[in-house]
Amino acid sequence: MEITAAIVKSQGSEFELEKVTLDEPGAEEVLVKIVATGICHTDMVARDFIMGSPNFPVILGHEGAGVIEKVGSDVHHLKVGDHVVLTYGFCGECEICRTGNPAYCYEFFDRNFSGADIEGHHHHHDHEGKDINDNFFSQSSFATYSIAHKNNVIPVPKDAPLEILGPLGCGIQTGAGAVINTLKIKVGSSIVISGTGAVGLSAVMAAKASSATVIIAVDINDDRLAFAKELGATHTINSLNENVREKIREILPNGVQFAVDTTGRSEVINNSLNSLAPVGEMAIIGVATKPLELETNIFLTKGYKIKFVNQGDSVSEEFIPKLIKMYLHGQFPFDKLIKTYAFEDINQAVEDSEKGRTIKAVLKIGEYAK
């Protein structure tokens, strides 16, 4: 079938909307008409080949939401007409997946970043019939239609606003999951969260929903820090003009119990670690551009636990519906992060995201009619 997709033709280039041909779904796949797709930092990381396959042209997009139009012969838990959120790909069969850790599947890279499906096939083809790299996060949802594997298609309630649910499939479940699933913070806990993008602010909201009593947000943008307070932060620190370690010790002389880092920056991570109480725990999410350097000698007597976290340690088929229930009950207002754009304005949405003008951009692809 003919669809419209946003294509990156070379490393670091802009997205170009073009007509392409999409294959029929295979036995374990579904065809989804995309209603909306979130824009995530990981899309930019792949565009710039910081991570992922170096193969171009490529169709990215990995926070899709839409309606199922076709199901493969071996798909039995999903049906035509289901409202769904698309999340990351995993095999579901390896020992890692079977022990409840699908975000660390042995095949994670191949199913999410390789530019083809697990068998090396492509679903998308240009007007000359040439293959286009795709299957990004087992979906490539910067397109009017997407083919996804049955494992990463999550049915959601039809009374939830489908046009904003896509970001739950990656960025928002990552931040919220780091707090709820990884750190498992409890009532009355204290936490510092570095970086107030979509992932960090999702962590702030999750900490509030978990009844943490001290939630410290750290950033260099005063507007973002003010917004973090609206979402539940009890304290904020601008690390450009305040000493993070000293400010945290003023708030909690013995240090915080938990920390989340979304920046990937060594100096920021070390600030958080130096602010932890003994046996404190830290979740590191941010994609780094430089090797991480830790002040390890200082930490040897502290008993700290550091966990590098992918996808918020989420089993998405369970966690995404929980986040939706929290949202519908007013406990997790992630819609406040979102600004919507027309599909044809994808490059503006990307620019606004990269320059910090928009926290979470969502493309309303279902309204595209060209």
Question: Does the structure show a pLDDT above 90 at 292?
Answer: no
Q: Please tell me whether the peptide bond between 57 and the residue prior to it is cis, using omega within 30 degrees of 0.
A: yes
Quick one: pLDDT at residue 210? 97
* Average pLDDT across the chain, whole number: 95
48 to 54, 87, 112, 198, 266: CA distances (angstroms): 9, 21, 16, 20, 22
Quick one: pLDDT at residue 233? 98
Question: Does the structure show a pLDDT above 80 at 370?
Answer: no
Is residue 214 within 8 A of residue 256, CB to CB? The reply is yes
d(C-alpha 234, C-alpha 215), whole Å: 5
Percent of the chain at pLDDT exceeding 70: 99
Per-residue pLDDT tens for 106-134? 999 999 999 999 999 999 999 999 999 99
Instruction: Provide the residue type at 308 as one letter.
Output: F
Q: Which residues, 6+ apart, have CB-to-CB distance to 97 below 8 Å?
A: 90, 91, 105
Quick one: pLDDT at residue 54? 65
Quick one: pLDDT at residue 287? 77
User: Per the structure block, which two tokens stand in for 221?
Assistant: 């943008």
Per DSSP, helices labelled H in the chain are 41-47, 95-98, 108-112, 171-177, 198-209, 222-231, 244-251, 266-274, 296-299, 316-328, 346-354
Closest CA to 57 of 131, 168, 119, 160: 131
Quick one: pLDDT at residue 212? 98
Closest CA to 263 of 305, 200, 201: 200
For the segment 328-345, the average pLDDT, to the nearest whole number, is 97
Helix (H, G, I), strand (E, B) or coil at 61: coil
Strands 256-261, 276-284: pairing kind = parallel
Per-residue pLDDT tens for 213-224? 999 999 999 999
Name the pTM for this structure.
0.95
Instruction: Provide the residue type at 74 as one letter.
Output: D
Per DSSP, helices labelled H in 120-209 are 171-177, 198-209
Question: Does the structure show a pLDDT above 90 at 291?
Answer: no
Per-residue pLDDT tens for 237-275? 999 999 999 999 999 999 999 999 999 999 999 999 999
- Stretch among 210-214, 222-226, 285-289 having the lowest mean pLDDT: 285-289
Quick one: pLDDT at residue 368? 85
Per-residue pLDDT tens for 5-33? 999 999 999 999 999 999 999 999 999 99
User: Per the structure block, which two tokens stand in for 199?
Assistant: 């992932």
Q: Which residues, 6+ apart, have CB-to-CB distance to 250 below 8 Å?
A: none
What domains are defined for the chain? 2-169+333-367 (3.90.180.10), 175-310 (3.40.50.720)
Cα angle for residues 336, 113, 70 (degrees, 5° grid): 75
Question: Does the structure show a pLDDT above 90 at 294?
Answer: no
d(C-alpha 212, C-alpha 232), whole Å: 10
